[in-house]
Amino acid sequence: MAEQKKLVEAITPMEEDFAKWYTDVVKKAELADYSSVRGCMIIRPYGYAIWENIQHTLDGMFKATGHENVYMPLLIPESLLQKEKDHVEGFAPEVAWVTHGGSEALTERLCVRPTSETLFCEHYAHVIKSYRDLPKLYNQWCSVLRWEKTTRPFLRTMEFLWQEGHTMHETREEAVAETEQMLNVYADLCENYLAIPVLKGKKTDKEKFAGAESTYTIEAMMHDGKALQSGTSHFFGDGFARAFDIQYTGRDNKLAYPFQTSWGMSTRIIGAIIMTHGDDSGLVLPPRIAPTQLMIVPIAMHKGGVLEKAQELCQRLQKTFRVKLDASDNSPGWKFAEYEMKGVPLRLEIGPKDLEKNQCVLVRRDNREKTFVPLDQLEAEIARLLDAVHDGLYQRALQNRESRTWSATTMEEILALANGKNGFIKTMWCGDEACELAMKEQAGLTSRCMPFEQEHLGDVCPICGKPAKTMVVWGKAY
Amino acid sequence: MAEQKKLVEAITPMEEDFAKWYTDVVKKAELADYSSVRGCMIIRPYGYAIWENIQHTLDGMFKATGHENVYMPLLIPESLLQKEKDHVEGFAPEVAWVTHGGSEALTERLCVRPTSETLFCEHYAHVIKSYRDLPKLYNQWCSVLRWEKTTRPFLRTMEFLWQEGHTMHETREEAVAETEQMLNVYADLCENYLAIPVLKGKKTDKEKFAGAESTYTIEAMMHDGKALQSGTSHFFGDGFARAFDIQYTGRDNKLAYPFQTSWGMSTRIIGAIIMTHGDDSGLVLPPRIAPTQLMIVPIAMHKGGVLEKAQELCQRLQKTFRVKLDASDNSPGWKFAEYEMKGVPLRLEIGPKDLEKNQCVLVRRDNREKTFVPLDQLEAEIARLLDAVHDGLYQRALQNRESRTWSATTMEEILALANGKNGFIKTMWCGDEACELAMKEQAGLTSRCMPFEQEHLGDVCPICGKPAKTMVVWGKAY
């Protein structure tokens, strides 16, 4: 008889230390592990299965909107990285440099890609000759590396997995429409699959991507009120096209530069899932991307017929849902704690009494609500409850965001709100970077975005008193 | 009215220059492009779609055999790479070294992974504590980098995409069984999805993987008679486990070292597809992994009802097959040549006369056989023809291999066979590396494998005359 595993150790409560709660969950739910390379993590099977489900969903959305996948080299020659001035200024300080191949010193350093605009542009210069070659709608799934000083699993790692879309278009309007479309794809993923409400908007010039004309963003609010930039979409105008000499013969038979976009979402989004939905019992996974949607835990497993029934249900339900059965010798109590830690959205309990009544118990992870369900109605009830968990998670996250979103019209109000509390602060803004810097210095806040849904909160910038141009949402960010 | 694209340029005939034929196909079928990084290629949408189909098929097979995907870091500290002596000797000469992060010189060099045994072992040392933690059946999809001197698209590139499985087991027998199982998975993929017959066997010690106790391989024969190693599976014994101090408490409550395997297949396999099935009209794709299985080409497209019917068929057939319609203004002749170049397994032609008869024409890419098919029988006929193309390709490749496989019992016979002809030469072998070196020097041949299906061709090694231990297959290899 095998020894009983000890009960799952408790994790640090969120209210006590949110950062420690986060790393406890990452470790105890077996999402990631540290490696001997500073700042690089190992994504363990359970964490990777979440990424695979996100990847599968996003990739389907990309293909449905006409995009094709490609693969570009991992390494970028220094001279290529330098072709677009703003871009190299933004990225050169945070790249890793390959200087030797085998025992030979290289004549030109190669950086490990931090992002691949330069490689895509070089390729586009080869393959775009005529307006008939446009649009080019490419995407790539890969890992990128940025030499970060401080790192945290999923949220900020030197290496991370992501997808980067890179597209080229005949007209400015078409490229802007693509930038918006892909932001909407990201918002769709977050809201309808990850149960994370997001705020859509445009980044200020200070916060935009190196080399972009404009950057659109979706900003999510974590449980602790801090913001997480969850996906970005960039419009480049024809800046890179000019720098890389990408020209095509237009419909008017004249040479023209195409307009460009790029857009990316990374494994960082797993950090957003953890910090949006998790609780003091561990991870809470949104059902549509959970690797296991329902875990079957037999009660008094060795009593007549229980295990057999559990196995039969498992086989039956696997046809419709992602289902597992834990038939190990661990106690039901251990199993409850273990799959709560792992955030499995639903638990199915079945014991001798249930067998008699031809029923079982379904327990929701998010609110622990129990439902007794006749076995012949199981599929319909599971489908209903998975949707209910999704909706419940979304509503809870939305309420958290609403209760932590405030408007302010004076610096005093801003400072009072920002003092000790985290959340979104909406204010008007004059458009000057100096005021963003002042906001950072005085209130510790950065501009998250200029929301697409603008409100008129007043006529002046609360920082400098000059006429306001736009409404900005400020916050502390991961 | 748009201008007509010029007819697809001819490619170099295979018989004239097989190597040039190969690169012509890679370029004209738009599989890959060169980049400014020496030896690194860009995998274009059509090439990547082939890889996605292979990946999807293989990943399903891995999951069906209980494997889970993970992601390990891209970079390996020099000290970690050095932990297993044979392994570092094998790989250190061909790795790229990162020496700087941003503007800072690193205290320890990091290599870009050429393979990830060391990283998996480091992680396994963290997570394997008890026999209950075994087996560990992990796989990862990623890119790796090896500093190759001469490169060719897909066949040998500095960076390539692959999967690498890394598993740990309680017993030697279980690990050996895993090694064999995964070789069979690779053979299944090659034969039943890629229509490539493979020879299964064991590598000689000289040819085995750096650090492995034994390496199993599947060897395919290309159209020109050269061999291509298409997938390998390695048994490590407990060598790495000892080097990395991976120990677990066994069922007997004693500490023990687990037994290890690794196995990999890469984008190289796309080179095998090209060189096994291609012809002087371009690529020929096996139907089960072809991005487009059937291309619809309307004839006299602007005549009443033709385009509408083609569109209707496209929508209908897309429910069952991977189908596209080319409704561009290019001529049918141009389209025929274009999709032959791209190796689309079936072409569907439909014109005004077919409309009258409620039929269409299906043309096989492999042998250009035409079939007139009533429209109400299309699905069944397409399914039949896709299987027929698969079988036809497999048989043609098998015949090529059989006609180029010879036995030899003396060095004179070997030299006569190897002189100017490429193929597999079967001989007995004494087991000494000296004879392998002699074979390389005198006949230009390397040992491909010791086939699992052994034959007794004689009692002595034809190279040295000493008693023979085993039958070896020799060849020239890519």
Asked if B99 lies within 8 A of A102 by C-beta distance, the reply is: no
A352: preceding bond cis by omega (within 30 degrees): no
Q: Taking each helix axis from N to C terminus, what angle separates B45-64 and B172-192, rounded to the nearest 10 degrees?
A: 140
Pair A210, A89: CB distance under 8 Å: yes
Q: Which residue of A has its CA nearest to B42?
A: A72
Q: Which residues of chain B have pLDDT under 70?
A: 1-9
- Are B442 and B427 within 8 A, CB to CB? no
| Per-residue model confidence as pLDDT tens digits over A121-146 | 999 999 999 999 999 999 999 999 99
Closest approach of chain B CAs to the CA of A399, in angstroms?
Answer: 35
Please tell me if residue A142 touches chain B, with a CB cutoff of 8 Å.
Answer: yes
How far apart, in whole angstroms, are the C-alpha atoms of residue B285 and residue B273? 7
Tokens matching residue A160: 């991370």
pLDDT tens-digit profile of B266-310?
999 999 999 999 999 999 999 999 999 999 999 999 998 999 999
CA distance B76 to B118: 8
Please determine, for residue A5, whether its predicted confidence score (pLDDT) is greater than 60: no
pLDDT over 70 (residue A15): yes
| ipTM for this model | 0.95
User: Which pLDDT value is given to residue B2?
Assistant: 38
Given a cut of 90, whether residue A86 has pLDDT beyond it is no
Q: How far apart, in whole angstroms, are the C-alpha atoms of residue A256 and residue B96?
A: 39
Q: Please return the burial class of A302, using the count of CB atoms within 10 Å of its CB with bins 0-12, 13-18 and 19+.
A: exposed
Please name the amino acid found at residue B108.
E
CB-based contacts of A42: which residues, under 8 Å, 6+ apart? A32, A33, A34, A35, B70, B71, B72, B73, B119, B123
Task: Name residue, tokens 């930038």.
Answer: A179
Q: Report pLDDT for B9.
A: 66
pLDDT tens-digit readout, A93-126: 899 999 999 989 999 999 999 999 999 999 999 9
Structure tokens at A434: 């100096």
* Confidence (pLDDT) at A4: 42
Q: Do A2 and B69 touch (CB under 8 A)?
A: no
Task: Determine the pLDDT at residue B5.
Answer: 47
Token couple for A157: 């790692």
**What Å distances lie between residue B234 and A65, B70, B215, B371, CA to CA?**
42, 19, 4, 46
Range with the poorest average pLDDT among A7-11, A358-362, B47-51, B270-274? A7-11
Residue A227 token pair: 């913001």
Can you tell me which residue has the tokens 């023979």? Answer: B468
Average pLDDT over every residue of A305-328: 97
Q: What is the pLDDT of residues A152-210, one digit of tens each?
A: 999 999 999 999 999 999 999 999 999 999 999 999 999 999 999 999 999 999 999 98
Q: Work out the pLDDT band at A7, boundaries 50, 70, 90.
A: low
Q: Return the H-helix or E-strand segment holding B263.
A: strand B259-266
pLDDT band at A2 (very low <50, low <70, confident <90, very high): very low
pLDDT (0 to 100) of residue B208 = 93
CB-CB contact of A478 with A226 (8 Å): yes
- Residue B380: exposed, middle, or buried by beta-carbon count in 10 A (0-12, 13-18, 19+)? exposed
**How far is B381 from chain A, CA to nearest CA, in Å?**
28
| Ordered strands of the B323-325 beta sheet | B323-325, B294-298, B346-350, B359-364, B370-374
A409 touches chain B (CB under 8 A): no
Q: Tell me how crowded residue B1 is: count the other CB atoms within 10 A of its CB.
A: 4
- The mean predicted confidence, pLDDT, of chain A is 95
Ranges of beta strands (E only) in A267-397 are 294-298, 323-325, 346-350, 359-364, 370-374
Residues 157-216 on A with a CB inside 8 Å of B are: 159, 161
Output the CA torsion B295→B296→B298→B302 (10° steps): -100
Short-list A416, A405, A422, A419, CA closest to A462:
A416
- Cα separation, A109 vs A98, in Å, equals 6
Q: Are strands A470-475 and A424-429 parallel, antiparallel or unpaired?
A: antiparallel
Question: A267 pLDDT band (50/70/90 cuts)?
Answer: very high
Shortest CA distance from A91: residue in chain B: B102
Q: Which two tokens stand for residue B339?
A: 């999709």
pLDDT of A26-75, one tens digit each? 999 999 999 988 889 999 999 999 999 999 999 999 999 999 999 999 99
What pLDDT does residue A3 have?
A: 39
Instruction: Give this prediction's pTM.
Output: 0.96
Please give the DSSP secondary-structure letter assigned to residue A71: B
